[in-house]
Amino acid sequence: DMTIEFFEPVCIGDRLTTIGRELHHVTPRETRVGVGAFSGYTTSYYNQNGELVAKATQGSYAFTRKAEEDIAR
């Protein structure tokens, strides 16, 4: 999932850049399909004038898949 918070209008022709991503949480977890971690991070977007125009916050789950015979059905 992703949420975007805008601080300034973004117009056609604007040049947007990002400067890294800020990791704000990592939660290790074992699920039915494998062992991994839920993570959340925020990306900041700046216009051509260096003004912060938006922040996007999103989460993901990365995992190592269990062997097919080990997955509970």
- Reading the chain (73 residues) residue by residue, the pLDDT tens digits are 899 999 999 999 999 999 878 888 888 988 888 899 999 999 999 999 999 999 999 998 888 887 777 766 6
Q: What predicted TM-score, i.e. pTM, was given to this entire model?
A: 0.71
- Say how far apart CA 53 and CA 46 lie, in whole Å: 5
Please tell me the predicted confidence (pLDDT) of residue 22: 86
| Token couple for 33 | 């399909």
- Say how far apart CA 41 and CA 27 lie, in whole Å: 12
